[in-house]
Amino acid sequence: MTIKPATIRDYTWMAANMRASDRAEIMCQVPTGTTSMDVAIWSLNAREAWTAFDRDDQPAAAFGVHAMTPAGNVFSLWAWGTPKLSRTVREIERFVIDDCTPRWLAAGLTRIEARSIVGHTRAHRWLRRLGFDEIPAEEWGRDGQAFTLFYWTKSRWIETRNL
């Protein structure tokens, strides 16, 4: 499995083949009429975006971060993909924890947030495994859908890693 910088080709293919749970989560947060191509383009405009390829070298997961503050110290972490995304989870975890987090911390990152629709249990398990805490985010979706706000802070990261 490999991780490479995002490309329009990979993102549009994955958006057209997105797993149902990710589609439901994303589409209730965007304007009515948003297309898969719009989701791919929005994702490519992230501060950093990557593609995880499964063992068959097919694009399986789109993931990245958007800056949430002008200072760039708070990121929004996101991920979505095809039904084969689960094959890439461990490699994405390793990449984010070992490659990205030290670089982000050195650049001044203090917090990462991720929101996930209530009921998206695979995403919730994954974020908990990454060390995120959570609180409810009621009425986050366009039509009042309940979400969970997952968050990670630099101080907690340092505390749990004994740095």
Angle at 102 between CA 55 and CA 2, to 5 degrees: 10
Percent of the chain with pLDDT over 90: 90
Q: Is 163 exposed, middle or buried (0-12, 13-18, 19+ CB in 10 A)?
A: exposed
Q: Which long-range contacts (CB under 8 A, 24 or more apart) does 52-56 make?
A: 52/1, 52/2, 52/3, 52/81, 52/85, 52/88, 52/91, 52/92, 52/95, 53/1, 53/2, 53/3, 53/4, 53/88, 54/1, 54/84, 54/87, 54/88, 55/1, 55/87
- Could you tell me the two tokens for 75? 């990121």
Give me the mean pLDDT over the 74-90 stretch: 95
At residue 131, the pLDDT reads 87
Task: Report d(CA 26, CA 62) in Å as an integer.
Answer: 13
Q: What is the pLDDT of residues 10-53, one digit of tens each?
A: 999 999 999 999 999 999 999 999 998 999 999 999 899 999 99
CATH architecture of 2-161: 3-Layer(aba) Sandwich (3.40)
pLDDT class of 162 with cuts at 50, 70, 90: low
